[in-house]
Chains A and B, each alone.
Chain A
Amino acid sequence: MYEFSYYKSGSVEDAVEAMNKAEDGKFVAGGQTMLPTMKHRLASPSDVIDLGGIAELSGISVDGDSVTIGAMTTHAEVAASGDVQAMIPALAQLASGIGDPAVRNQGTLGGSIANNDPAADYPAAVIALGATVKTNKREIAADDFFTGMFETALEDDELITAVSFPKADSAAYMKFENPASRYAIVGVFLAKTGSAVRVGVTGATPCAHRGMRLEEALNSNFSADACDGVEIPVEKMNTDIHASAEYRAHLVKVMTKRAVAACS
């Protein structure tokens, strides 16, 4: 790891000020992606600004029909939260399946979506539930947040403070995981509210996205069979040592069908 100067910030304003002063600064949350990346010298920030001391960024609250989760809330906290389990059980279950217990004790919601790894779990839920990403500057709708591989709508000095997830009538997350890392080879989050269905797909393509064709089919006929006729564009799928594009396209349908079955 290259040298850097470290700063522990005490508040959101303080962190943003430190970022603006830094030559090439990076926020660190749980460090579960940042530190491995820095160890491999794939990132070499001049300044590392720790968000770990900012109490206001952690915690879970329920407000009417939505759950708001602070950016620094760990995966383990989301998984164990009675509020999340009661409002959106599929979200608690998603969090409980990220990595392993030690990763879940450190890794955070904000870090996961800011990083936007093509195989990360949370982006599928943010998209399918139509969540709102709250930052120090504005609120960003899920559909506008994830812009490309490891790319988001966030500006350099913009910090996620919380994510607000509206409750769905029913929801399920189905992941075909890489058995070594537990990252999603393909993950599908399905949320149904009234008769409207939203499908968030991760792992399949360079950036998590809405499965519009699947949504269309499921909106007119909410059944696993309805997915059969949907064409998944193979040319858009990722291909790597873990799975070919054809296999991923197949998995998108299978995971969606399992999610439909779980919501029926």
Chain B
Amino acid sequence: MPIVNMNVNGNPVTGEVEGRTLLVQFLRENLGLTGTHIGCDTSQCGSCVVHVDGKSVKSCTLLAVMADGSEVTTIEGLANGAELHPMQQAFMDNHGLQCGFCTPGMVMSALDIVNRNGNELDENTVRKELAGNICRCTGYHNIVKSVTAGAKAMGD
């Protein structure tokens, strides 16, 4: 069986996988990083979004072997000990979640939005850029507020 090596949240990891093991399965089942969720089987919901080499990808639509040798960041890699990342804090402060299932993917996509668009985000940009993340609870309004506030806080 193939062996994969990656750097996940700053830690070198290695593991034996099948060719068909998805990156999300490797993260959840081999590494126990269950913060990354699986919400669909059609690559549409975005609850599995992680960063691979600095870019957002759907970890349910990537084989673990395809990510061999890369740097992966998951939701578990954001907080600094007990101190939440500014984007996580913004979701908390703005009530940007209800059940929380979509939240890890929302936060990872939000950071990708900031990386590409900077710290001053308008509502339209955020809504358009979150096209690949589905939330069944909030109606998105507070998610958009959270992302805008989190982006700003990251610049302060």
Contacts and interface: CB of A to CB of B under 8 A. Distances in A.
Contacts of A8: 65, 68
A36 B113 CA distance: 25
Nearest to A6: B19
B66 A52 contact: yes
B46 A76 contact: no
Interface residues of B, number: 29
Given A1-B20, A101-B109, A102-B49, A31 B63 contact: yes
Contacts of B41: 36, 39-40
Q: Is the interface of A mostly helix, strand, loop or mixed?
A: mixed
A100 B63 contact: no
B57 A106 contact: yes
Q: Is the interface of B mostly helix, strand, loop or mixed?
A: mixed
25 contacts: A1-B20, A2-B20, A3-B19, A6-B63, A8-B65, A28-B66, A31-B63, A31-B66, A36-B42, A36-B43, A39-B41, A50-B66, A76-B55, A99-B131, A101-B112, A101-B113, A102-B49, A102-B56, A102-B109, A102-B112, A102-B132, A103-B43, A103-B132, A105-B57, A106-B61
A35 B63 contact: yes
Contacts of B42: 36
A195 interface: no
Interface in A102-150: 102-103, 105-106
Interface residues of A, number: 29
B44 A105 contact: no
Interface in A17-39: 28, 31-32, 35-36, 38-39
Interface in B107-125: 109, 112-113, 116
Nearest to B42: A36
A6 B68 CA distance: 12
A4 B19 contact: yes
B55 A4 contact: no
A48 interface: yes
A35 B18 CA distance: 14
Contacts of B20: 1-4, 38
The 10 A-B residue pairs with the shortest CB-CB distance, nearest first, are A100-B132, A6-B19, A100-B131, A105-B55, A1-B20, A102-B56, A102-B58, A35-B61, A36-B43, A6-B65
A184 to B, nearest CB: 15
A106 B46 CA distance: 14
Interface in A28-62: 28, 31-32, 35-36, 38-40, 48, 50, 52
A36 B61 contact: yes
Q: Which of B57, B61, B132 has the most CB of A within 10 A?
A: B61
Contact of A102 (B19, B57, B65, B66): B57
B62 interface: yes
Contacts of A103: 43, 58, 132
A182 interface: yes
Contacts of A86: none
A31 B132 contact: no
A99 B62 contact: no
B2 interface: yes
Nearest to A52: B66
B43 A105 contact: no
Nearest to B54: A105
B16 interface: no
Contact of A5 (B19, B66, B131): B19
Contacts of B61: 31-32, 35-36, 106
B93 interface: no
Contacts of A102: 46, 49, 56-58, 109, 112, 132
A181 B131 CA distance: 9
